[in-house]
Structure 1
Amino acid sequence: MKKDHKDVSMAVIRRLPKYHRRLKELMEKDVTRISSKELSGMIGFTASQIRQDLNCFGGFGQQGYGYDVSELYTEISRILGLTEHYNTVIVGAGNLGQAIANYSNFEKKGFHVLALFEKNPRLIGLKIRDVPVLDIDELEEFAKNKSVDIGVICTNSENAQDVADQLVKLPVKAVWNFAPVDIILPENIVQENVHLSDSLFVISYLLKMQRDEQQNP
């Protein structure tokens, strides 16, 4: 039984990729079924939390049997939209932009990088895993003949908002922002911000707490 997903919290949504990754690992080991308790030991969430999360989308498990690994993997792929195809452009062909373009797993999951766009003349004309690096001034014309779903921002903070505005005009349906600044987008544009420094600062905090505990047992 499928449920209406509109009221599912973002906290639950953000846990789904971890389930998806672990289930993939189980399939590669030829594991066919798993209980919520066993999955809990792998993931770190409680068995109760796992059951609650999955029940948000319908009944996938069977009492006394657990979850069919392949079936659950397929269902979570569908829920996450990984059965779809997304045309993607990357703005900013520096180290980060190139790393994203080089990550072949995105392609396997349906995220097709059409091109990278850059203003640095030394980078324009390169190919990253057969994906061309084009002049940023060509972005609008390029998009006229392509349906672009996702725009990835890998620029510095000073240029990020201007790039976001350009992407909205294409138009894109979603923006994945790696620039270290919050950008403003229309409400109809899906937005996900990845601030790498935030994650690093969390590590810094945890290290500090660990050191404090060791110095003051």
Structure 2
Amino acid sequence: MAKSQSVSLSVIRRLPRYYRFLSDLKAAGILRISSRELSSRMGLTASQIRQDLNCFGGFGQQGYGYNVEQLHAEIGNILGVGKKHKTILLGAGNLGKAVAAHMDFEAKGFDLIGVFETDKQMIGKNLRGLKILSSEMLVPFCKEHQPLVAILCIPKDSARKASDLLVELGIKAFWNFTHYDFAVSHPGIVVENVHLGDSLMILSYRVNETLEGNSTDNKE
């Protein structure tokens, strides 16, 4: 199915969750599922699921529901998990090592082809089967291999200079673990920001809300 150009980001952000649940259903040998059954598993309404999938043309059949394998494949195509975009990682410290070691890039649409670091003690070591290269090798490497995506696991004060250079070298998208705001200098670049501290503070807020709600209930 062709993807609509007007699909909201909120719908796009739910697609990986559909993909994960459908992967589990496939592994369990479930061949088809109704929107109501899927909603009970995911904690969404059946109406929400139908609306989300209808943004891409709809995949269900009246009285039958969704073919699990087909829907899983269609959502995978929409997400581009089979594309294998050439990707590089800047920063092989604790965060960079964790991202490289534990993320299944190939199953998510990416091919990690290079890792770069400024720390001389890290250069030359292996990470995910790749030799960690000096950041001085970034320019010739990008000119030769033409990566499309960069993962930034570097300090914020290094992010702007690095991003300016990477955009010049043809990088079109960033998975950004820094706190640098790309919208300031590169408004046309695709960026997915990952702010772990923000996520933790949101968790703190939700925990506090839950505790305060329980406290109020107990007083009543």
Unaligned runs of 5+ in 1: none
**Following superposition of structure 1 onto structure 2, how do residues 149-164 of structure 1 map, counting pairs within 5 Å?**
149-164=148-163
Q: Distance in 2 between matches of 1:207 and 1:110?
A: 34
Deviation (angstroms), 1:96: 1.3
Does the 8 A contact of 1:164 with 1:185 survive in 2? no
Deviation (angstroms), 1:104: 5.2
**Following superposition of structure 1 onto structure 2, how do residues 16-165 of structure 1 map, counting pairs within 5 Å?**
16-103=15-102, 105-165=104-164
Mapped pair 1:180 → 2:182: no
Mapped pair 1:190 → 2:193: no
The aligned amino acid for 1:59 is: G
State the percentage of identical aligned residues: 44
RMSD: 1.4
The aligned amino acid for 1:179 is: T
Mapped pair 1:205 → 2:205: yes
The aligned amino acid for 1:57 is: F
Does the 8 A contact of 1:89 with 1:116 survive in 2? yes
Does the 8 A contact of 2:3 with 2:78 survive in 1? no
Does the 8 A contact of 1:87 with 1:150 survive in 2? yes
- For this pair of structures, how many residues does the alignment match? 216
Q: Distance in 1 between matches of 2:40 and 2:146?
A: 42
Q: Distance in 1 between matches of 2:3 and 2:93?
A: 41
Does the 8 A contact of 2:123 with 2:133 survive in 1? yes
Q: Distance in 1 between matches of 2:15 and 2:185?
A: 25
Deviation (angstroms), 1:206: 0.9
Q: Distance in 2 between matches of 1:125 and 1:116?
A: 10
Deviation (angstroms), 1:180: 2.4
1:216 aligned partner = 216
